[in-house]
Every structure is written in C-alpha cells, then in structure tokens.
Amino acid sequence: MAAYYSLNSLPRPAPWLWHGDLHLKVDTSPRNHWGVQAGTCHPVNTLLSFGYTLASNEIASLLDGIGFDPYIGFFHKSKYGRPSLAADLLEEFRSPIVDRLTLKLINNRVLTENDFYFHKPSGSMYLKRTALKCYFTEYKKVANKEFTYPRTGEKTNFRRCFRIQG
C-alpha cells in the first residue's frame, strides 16, 4: 500500500517535459505562422486537451460498458468527476494517438490559427465548427488505422487496444 501512495504522490514530470518541449516539434518556420507562445490559450494546448478528452471519454465509456468503475483508478487519485481509471489507461495512448495527431494537424497545416477562436468570458480557446468536424474525422482515422500489434503479430487498431487494456 505504501508503494501506491508513493506513486500517487510523485510529481508527474513526463507530460510536463513533453508539453514543455512540444514547441520544438512544431514547425515554426516563417511559412508556418503559429508562433510558439506557451500557455493554456495556445492552439496546440487546445488540440492536446481536446484530444485527451475524446480519448479519455472513449475509454471511460468502454470501461463502464464492460463493468468497471472508470472513476476508481490506481495511479490517478480519485477526484470527483474525473474518470481516474480511464486516465490511467489513457497514459500509454497519449503520445501515439493525441500528440501525434496534434503534430500532424499543425505541421501539415490541416488546421491553422484561423481555425480557433478565443472565448473571452471563459478565457479559453476553442475550435471553430468546421475545424471541429475536421478534427473528429482525423481522430477517427487515427483511432481506426490498422497496424500490427508487436507482441502477437495480429492486425489491430487503437480502439481494439482500448478494449484489450480494459
């Protein structure tokens, strides 16, 4: 039990390191006018947060459907309204799904700064409706794209991997 609490009390530097260095992976050449402003209202952070929310909700729904309580996790402490078990399972899918998709959409200029708007009352950045449809389409492509699972050599996709992990 002491190991559980020590794991939960450790700071989680990996996401902070990744997000802190994400600007190094985003194409900031003069032909790409994104600029690299860190902060919660930056379009990159908006895409990351939205992608994590989509994947987390998909995993939480799957867990609930197979009979697990998605709100009781192991590595993410229980917090009202947060599906901690889904957040635990999401960790291994952050980079290959959401982070990779975000970089693809930005660096290939599928989404540009014009696809976002700032909502002053909430202080948040949001995707415009057409960009949102584009994001859903691209997310679906990534989640359903088949690849060979290294351990078994079988063809699979990330949605099947969610079920395997659940």
Residue 136 confidence (pLDDT): 96
For 73-93, what is each residue's pLDDT tens digit? 667 767 676 777 788 888 888
Give the CA radius of gyration of the chain. 17
Higher pLDDT, 4 or 81: 81
Report all structural domains of the chain as residue ranges with CATH numbers, in order of start: 38-165 (1.20.120.920)
Question: Beta strand 147-148 with 124-127: parallel, antiparallel or unpaired?
Answer: unpaired
Q: Tell me the C-alpha distance between 83 and 88, whole Å.
A: 9
Tell me what the mean pLDDT of segment 140-160 comes to.
88
* pLDDT for residue 139: 95
Contact 23, 38 (CB under 8 A): yes
Neighbours of 65 (CB within 10 A): 11
Q: If pLDDT is split at 50, 70 and 90, which confidence band does 12 have?
A: very low
